[in-house]
Amino acid sequence: MSLTDLRLFGRTGLKVSPFTLGTMNFGVRGNTSHEDSIRVIHRALDAGINTVDTADVYSKGESEEIVGKALEGRRDDVILASKFHGNVDGNPLHQGNSRWWITRAVEDGLRRLNTDYLDLYQVHRPEAQTDIDETVGALDDLVHQGKIRYYGTSVFSPGELLEAQWSAERRSLSRSASEQVPYSLLIRGIERETLPIARTVGLGVLTYGPLAAGWLSGKYRLGAGQPESQRADLIPGRFDVDAPHNADKLRAADALAVLAEESGLSLIHLALGFVLSHPDVSSAIIGPRTLEHLESQLGAADVELSSDILDRIDEIVPPGTVFNERDTGIVRDAIANPALRRTVSA
């Protein structure tokens, strides 16, 4: 396998590279140099990556602007994906999954990306208070208007994935084509239901976080102390190696690092090779901030893990394992809100 060995994107007939370039780390929240960020994007494209993923909330639209600059003269050879849902500018109306916002958000995104159309437009997060019929209907209209080629979802629950499919099918609308979801050696929850559903209904699967937000960088080892993380302030406690709720994850990360060493691989290559080894994964999103980060990951497309190594991985982190609910990408209201779990007596 190599970066030029394209993989089918669900049942769309579209062919994507094993890696997708994620651009969350370009702009004010990551690499603040547009020139450096553009160099990373060009290097990824030159290496054979043909799919680029961004979102309107990444650096409040700045990431999309950087991508738009980088793709000048190269747009026709790139599968360009973006996402909507989150708030970009502080206006409470400028967010969500309603038709009102979708029709506004797509125009803003197209302008920032300097393009006439998106190949894939994704619902960044589900929204319980918005009828899925509203969202699917608006996205189907954008397909017919030629502003998007396909639409997809991100971190939808298994039930929400099927609900979106049913909403489109019963009204003879274009169906959701993909799901974007976290997946790594340390975050294997999607193996339970999401990936089997994707296989059954023909969804393309874009996975993100193959390095588990840095836990699989090789820095998180038993006895090594607390690594520095630029994301530590964003999610308090998620990266604390001394926290009891992270103890099992830290032990697993250390054991996986030992396995990588014994296998003659870097932990980064083991982690990326694992994600690509799943037959239902269409493409793994990598999110380098610098050229150095990118170069450390590109070679993993050539890694093929043996059955013995995959069995060892399953012994360390059993299939379907999730150490912390936050690692799944979204904490469901039914879990976070006690009022939704308890009957209040009169």
Domain 7-217+268-305+318-333 has CATH 1.10.10.10: no
What is the spatial distance between Cα 9 and Cα 23, in angstroms, rounded to a whole number?
20
pLDDT at 233: 59
Length of the chain: 346
Q: If residue 204 lies in a helix (H) or strand (E), which one and from where to where?
A: strand 204-208
pLDDT at 339: 84
Catalytic residue among 58, 121, 150, 151: 58
- Give catalytic status of residue 183 as yes or no: no
Sign of CA pseudo-dihedral 313, 315, 319, 324: negative
pLDDT at 33: 96
Banded model confidence at residue 342, pLDDT cuts 50, 70, 90: confident
For residues 43 and 291, is the Cβ–Cβ distance under 8 A? yes
Mean pLDDT lowest for which of 63-67, 302-306, 340-344? 340-344
Boundaries of every domain in the chain: 7-217+268-305+318-333
> 79-84 and 19-22: which strand pairing?
unpaired
What is the spatial distance between Cα 36 and Cα 38, in angstroms, rounded to a whole number?
5
What are the structure tokens assigned to 103, written together? 């029709």
Assessment of whether the complete model's pTM goes beyond 0.75 = yes
What is the spatial distance between Cα 110 and Cα 103, in angstroms, rounded to a whole number?
11
> 15-16 and 7-8: which strand pairing?
antiparallel
Give the model confidence (pLDDT) of 171-182 as tens digits: 999 999 999 999
Span 79-101, mean pLDDT? Answer: 96
Using the 8-state DSSP alphabet, how is residue 243 labeled? S
Average pLDDT, the chain: 95
Q: Over 90: is that where the pLDDT of 160 sits?
A: yes
pLDDT at 185: 98
Span 126-154, mean pLDDT? Answer: 98
pLDDT at 230: 66
CB-based burial label for 1 (10 Å; 0-12, 13-18, 19+):
middle
